[in-house]
């Protein structure tokens, strides 16, 4: 994959959020609409194209945890709010390569996590569980070794204690289990087809109605051993 090769050639051990989602999208995983901008003119064009409300995030290949550093602004509803948030974020970004990621605001009350780790013994292992802040607090997750069959993916969803979050509840529709299964299978395939991928972290994967959308993602790389 060219996107992986380019990052490794630049001496990086991770893809940026935008690059990570470009890679996911290449494999058919639904991701947010977004654009990288470097000035307020580009910002206005991107916001008009994507449509309010939007999210602004600092963009840098070396940034993994933007929330803790105050580099994210959510639910921005007009040009004035966007311009103020843009200037604030740009002022906090260190280094010479400054840019901001403009992203559609995905609204959904159910957040999931999908991931991949590379076990020394078993190889690529796929992870599924409750996402957002609950990933670290509750650690309600399940694992399977890739490659996954559809029944493996469906079993993974049932394995977590909070699996009822996928059911129809409080006016929200049942999650599209087929779409979720496809994502789990695909993430496993990504690990099998790309030895340079050490980890994949899709968190949160938000249910927009019944459909899952990758809202944030991080791909960690490792140069292949010769």
- 16 class by beta-carbon count within 10 Å (0-12 exposed, 13-18 middle, 19+ buried): buried
- The dotted CATH code for 2-30+108-221 is 3.30.470.20
22 by Cβ neighbours in 10 Å (0-12 / 13-18 / 19+) ranks as middle
Per-residue pLDDT of the chain (226 residues; tens, 9 = 90+): 899 999 999 999 999 999 999 999 999 999 999 999 999 999 999 999 999 999 999 998 766 656 556 799 999 999 999 999 999 999 998 877 899 999 999 989 899 999 999 999 999 999 999 998 778 788 899 999 999 999 999 999 999 999 999 999 889 999 999 999 999 999 999 999 999 999 999 999 999 999 999 999 999 999 876 5
Q: Tens digit of pLDDT for each residue in 179-214?
A: 999 999 999 999 999 999 999 999 999 999 999 999
- Shortest CA distance to 106 belongs to which of 124, 134, 132? 132
Contacts of 20 (CB under 8 A, 6+ apart): 200, 217, 218, 219
Question: DSSP letter string over 147-159?
Answer: SPPHHHHHHHHHH
d(CA 109, CA 160): 18
Are 69 and 92 spatial neighbours (Cβ–Cβ below 8 Å)?
yes
Measure the CA–CA gap between 48 and 33, rounded to whole angstroms.
12
Tokens representing 12 are: 């990086």
Domain 34-104 falls in which CATH fold?
Dna Ligase; domain 1 (3.30.1490)
CA 27 from centre of chain: 13
Q: Look up residue 173 and give its two tokens.
A: 């529709």
pLDDT tens digits, 50-78: 999 999 999 987 666 565 567 999 999 99
pTM score, whole prediction: 0.94
Write down the residue that tokens 């790389």 correspond to. Answer: 221
**What is the spatial distance between Cα 184 and Cα 83, in angstroms, rounded to a whole number?**
37
Residue ranges of domains in the chain: 2-30+108-221, 34-104
CA 128 – CA 135 distance, rounded (Å): 10
């Amino acid at each position: 994959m060219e996107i992986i090769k380019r990052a490794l050639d630049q001496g990086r051990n991770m893809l940026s959020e935008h690059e990570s989602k470009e890679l996911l999208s290449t494999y058919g995983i639904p991701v947010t609409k977004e654009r990288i901008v470097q000035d307020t003119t580009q910002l206005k064009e991107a916001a008009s194209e994507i449509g309010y409300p939007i999210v602004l995030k600092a963009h840098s290949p070396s940034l993994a945890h933007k929330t803790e550093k105050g580099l994210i602004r959510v639910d921005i509803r007009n040009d004035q709010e966007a311009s103020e948030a843009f200037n604030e974020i740009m002022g906090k970004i260190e280094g010479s390569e400054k840019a901001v990621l403009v992203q559609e605001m995905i609204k959904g009350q159910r957040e999931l996590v999908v991931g991949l780790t590379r076990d020394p013994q078993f190889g690529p292992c796929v992870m599924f569980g409750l996402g957002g802040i609950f990933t670290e607090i509750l650690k309600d997750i399940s694992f399977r070794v890739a490659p996954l069959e559809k029944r493996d993916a469906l079993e993974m969803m049932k394995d977590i204690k909070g699996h009822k979050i996928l059911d129809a509840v409080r006016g929200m529709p049942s999650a599209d289990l087929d779409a979720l299964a496809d994502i789990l299978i695909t993430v496993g395939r990504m690990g099998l087809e790309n030895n340079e991928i050490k980890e994949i972290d899709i968190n949160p994967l938000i249910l927009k109605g019944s459909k899952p959308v990758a809202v944030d993602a991080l791909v960690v790389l490792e140069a292949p051993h010769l």
